């Protein structure tokens, strides 16, 4: 089970039940991401428990199209232009440079040039 904030991962959570459900572990609401379809249970306001089978999608919504800020988990790319992408550093998401796609990750400003961080190398954050 993955426990995270409803604002993490860039999912677009939509509540599935009208009335809060009573379960063995307490009362909960079911939320489903309208973008990628993963589901979780919210036992506490603002947080969600996501089953392990969705682990590969939990940290970043694969259908996410969003600007904002990210926090680096790790950056596997090598090069002087990636030197500022240290673990836990925070960066603004920028538009993909002309001619480049953003299907495999998001673009941030590296040292003197835009660079791409791959999905899995960062988390979206709210600030
Ligand atoms: Zn999603």
Domain positions in the chain are: 2-58, 69-125
- Ligand 1 center from residue 21 Cα (angstroms): 22
- pLDDT at position 8: 86
Q: What separation in angstroms does the CA of 17 have from each of 5, 9, 107, 115?
A: 19, 22, 36, 41
| Average pLDDT of the segment spanning 100-125 | 90
Beta-carbon count within 10 A of 121 CB: 20
CA of residue 47 relative to chain centroid, distance: 14
pLDDT tens string 53-96: 999 899 888 766 556 899 999 999 999 999 999 999 999 998 88
- Ligand 1 center from residue 52 Cα (angstroms): 15
Q: What is the spatial distance between Cα 25 and Cα 83, in angstroms, rounded to a whole number?
A: 45
- pLDDT at position 35: 86
- Ligand 1 center from residue 63 Cα (angstroms): 6
Averaged confidence pLDDT in the chain: 91
- φ/ψ of 52, rounded to 5, equals -55, -30
Res. 108 pLDDT band, cuts 50 70 90: very high
């Amino acid at each position: 089970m993955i426990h995270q904030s409803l604002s993490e991962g860039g999912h677009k959570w939509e509540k599935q039940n009208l009335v809060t459900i009573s379960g063995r572990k307490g009362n909960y609401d079911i939320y489903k991401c309208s973008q990628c379809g993963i589901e979780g249970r919210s036992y506490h306001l603002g947080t969600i428990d996501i089953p392990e089978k969705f682990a590969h999608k939990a940290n970043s919504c694969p259908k996410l199209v969003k600007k904002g800020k990210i926090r680096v988990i790790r950056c596997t790319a090598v090069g002087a232009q990636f030197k500022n992408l240290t673990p836990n550093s925070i960066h603004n998401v920028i538009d993909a440079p002309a001619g480049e796609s953003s299907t495999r990750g998001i673009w941030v400003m590296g040292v003197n040039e835009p660079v791409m961080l791959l999905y899995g190398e960062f988390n979206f954050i709210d600030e």
